[in-house]
Structures are given as structure tokens and as C-alpha cells.
Chains A and B, each alone.
Chain A
Amino acid sequence: MDEHKLAELFRDAARDAPPPSFDVGAVRTASARATARRRSAVAVGAAMAVVLVFGGLVVTSDFMRNTSGDSAAAGSAQDASSPNVSPFGASEPEVLSENGSPDRSGGNPPKIIPEDPSTQGDEPSGSADRTKVGSAQRGCVEVDRELAVALADELSVANADDASPAAANCPSDARGASFLVRDGDRYGTVSAVIAPAGTTGLVPDHSFVDASAKTRGGQELYVLSRSEEGSPDEPFSDDLAGLAQRLAARF
């Protein structure tokens, strides 16, 4: 077969071309469009990468913060002071204003913090008019993490981090925690306090019901329950003694 003849046949087959349907302007336009598309794709990709990296950093730092916060708080009872914590300024316990939305089943208790004079000089800001009393009452200002976890477990509270300082008239070497809980139609604050054996006068007033039990370490564990406004009775008041015993068995 003659390659020249074959080439001639090929050239002849493509000879009668119709008018072209594109010109150099169309090529330039399509090129600019393709370049813009590529640039926008690169920009979108870069933006997504930035968002992913930033999101990853936020999640990681949040996770790290939670982890370090948990480990620092566990067993140390050094949790940061709650906004509900009030300084102790009077010798007699005082029930502060009540707080609480009725549909909460575990969280910050009302401001039923007994006032406790501080001897540490750590008067919080905004309380300059408080009277400083030189008594030794200091306990229960902060949440005792260990007690909070145990109490949350007994009361079936989902998050032990929702604990607040115990609503009780604590001596200085007592430690405690409390939860705002719902028990059927009852609603109120349940506090647990571990105080040295022989401690009395822990219950602020008659609006509380309480029970106590001896811990294995010989200390006294008190459980106090107080109903909130609208609640027919104190939560867990039927089983307060059992609750105290179960908690005491853990310490």
C-alpha cells in the first residue's frame, strides 16, 4: 500500500470543512472561565482546609482543657469557686435567696449558702460591706469533688460537674457538695457534708430534713434535703438515712 496515496486520501477526507464554530475570542473566554473556576476551587479548598484545621485545633484544645480540668479537680476539692458561693459573714447560718427553675433535675442549687466567716482573708470581691467574723467556719465553700461524684452517683445525676457547694452550716474542716434534684414531684437541694465526729448545728433551719451516718474513717456524714418553692416535700426525704449510709460506706 502506498503511504502517499493513503495520506492523500486522509487529507481529502478532511478537506471540505464547514465554517468554524469558534474563534480566538471564544477560546480566550473559555480559558478565563477555566482559570477562574480553578482559582475558586483552590480558594474553596484552602478555606475548607483552614476551617478543618481550625476546627481540629478547637476540638483538641477543648478536649485537652476538659481532660486537664478533670484530673486537676479529681480528689482535690480545689474546684474553682462557684458564682453561687458567698462569703461567710455572719455567725449564724443564713439562707440566701432561692433559685431554680423547676424543670432542672440536677444542677446549681439555689443560693442557700450559709454564711461563713472567713479567717483566710479571701473575701471575694463585691462584698466589702460584709462583716468579718473571726470564727473558724470555713468548710463547704467549695465543692468537694469526691463527695460530689459519690452523691451524683447515688442521686443518679448525670453530670457531677453540676455540683454546688453544700447548703449547710459547715465547720471549717468539713467538706461538702450539693445538687438541685427532682424526685418525682418533689424538687429541691440535696447536700452531703462530711464533718468531724461530734459536729452539731450543721442543719441551718427547720426547712431542712437531714440524716447522718458514720463513715469508715469515723467522721460524720450528713445528708440534708430542702424543698424548693412549689415542691410538696423534700426530695429523697423518705430514704435520707439510707442515702447517708450508702454514702458513708464510700468514705
Chain B
Amino acid sequence: MDQRDEQEFAEYFAARREAVRRTAFLLCGDWHRADDFAQTAFVALHRRWRKVRDKQALDAYVRRSLVRAVIDESRRPWRRERFVDEVPERPSGDGEVADSVATREALVAGLRRVPPRQRAVLVLRFLEGLDVAAAAEALGCSEGTVKSQTSRGLDALREALGDSIDDLRPAS
């Protein structure tokens, strides 16, 4: 890449790094691995920078790279995620801050118990705010699949969290 391309990439990187890291964190539940995944996605983008110039396309490319990296790694035998029966212990404490921290950790722990692909759908839709069509494009699947995966993912998340988070209880 020439100087100008490098400058443009650096600006995009600075603008999007934190958002990509947060998405990666909710996809994998660990900040160290999240950084690895985010870096992998940015490296892939850097290598194809000249071919992906549209701003919207940049975001979609990074999102797709990130989701694929997380799902691919979850399939590797030596890094395959294991489901556990018990949600990790919640931090004890009183007050609003403690509740907030507990809610946060409960959600992250609950997400880790949701199958990777359903988790990716939930993160793309509720953290990234993508609609069904955009999530389908990022995941390379149909919109119907996104809808069904969203429904199953929410069920799995509710089941994982139990009554930990009130907002996840079914409306009925």
C-alpha cells in the first residue's frame, strides 16, 4: 500500500478498533482472545485494503472476517468451547454498581453457553444493531436462518441465565 492508503487505513483503524474489540469480546467472552480476533480481522482488511474501499463495505468486511474467525476457532478441537452446567459465580456486593457488574458478567457468561453461530447472530443484531438482512449478509446465510437463529439464541441465552436478568424473561 502507498502512503495515502496507509493513512486511510490508520484512520479507519483508529475509528473502529474499539467497536470491533467489543464485538469480538461478546463473541468469545475473553478480552485477550477478543484482541486476537480483532487483530486478525484488521490484518485481513489491511491486506485487501485496495479492493475494499467503500466505507459500508469496510465495516461489513471486518464484521464478516471477525465472525468467521471466531466460529472457525470454536470448531478447532484444541480450542473447542465446552459447555458447563453452572454459570460462573456472580460477584457479591451491594448497590447499583455491584448489580450492574453482576448483570454484565452474567450476560457474558450466558452468551458463552449459547452455540457460536447463534451467539454471533445475537451479537450482530443487539450489539451491532444490524437488521436481519445485514446480519444475514455478515454471516453468509439467509434471512430466514438469521430469524430462526435469533429465536433459538435468545431461548438458549434465557435458559443459560435463568432468572439472572429480568429483561430476558419472556413477555408472556
What are 25 A-B interface contacts by the 8 Å CB criterion?
A1-B167, A2-B167, A6-B168, A7-B126, A9-B107, A10-B126, A11-B22, A12-B100, A12-B104, A13-B107, A13-B111, A14-B23, A16-B104, A17-B22, A17-B25, A20-B17, A20-B18, A20-B35, A22-B35, A22-B39, A24-B10, A24-B14, A27-B39, A34-B43, A35-B47
Contacts from B to A (Cβ < 8 Å):
6, 9-10, 13-14, 17-18, 21-23, 25-26, 31-32, 35, 38-39, 42-43, 46-47, 100, 103-104, 107-108, 111, 122-123, 126-127, 129, 154, 165, 167-171
Q: How far apart are the CA atoms of A3 and B31 in the complex, in Å?
A: 25
A216 in the interface (beta carbon within 8 A): no
CB-based nearest B residue for A1: B171
Q: Which residues of A contact B38 (CB under 8 A)?
A: 20, 22
A206 in the interface (beta carbon within 8 A): no
Contact residues of A between 14 and 52, Cβ < 8 Å to B: 14-18, 20-22, 24, 26-28, 30-31, 34-35
Question: Out of A18, A22, A28, A35, which one reaches B6, CB within 8 Å?
Answer: A28
Q: How many residues of A contact B (CB 8 A)?
A: 27
Q: Which residues of B contact A1 (CB under 8 A)?
A: 154, 167-171
Contacts from A to B (Cβ < 8 Å):
1-3, 5-7, 9-18, 20-22, 24, 26-28, 30-31, 34-35
Q: Which residues of B contact A3 (CB under 8 A)?
A: 126
Contact of A14 with B32 at beta-carbon distance under 8 Å, contacts A1-B167, A2-B167, A24-B13 already known: no
CB-based nearest B residue for A28: B46
Known: A1-B169, A30-B43. 7 other contacts (CB 8 A): A9-B107, A10-B123, A14-B26, A15-B104, A20-B18, A26-B39, A27-B42
Q: How far is the CB of B99 from chain A (nearest CB, A)?
A: 11
Q: Which of A2, A17, A26, A35 lies at the interface centre, i.e. has the most chain B CB atoms within 10 A of its CB? A: A17
Q: Cβ of B39 and Cβ of A30 under 8 Å apart?
A: yes
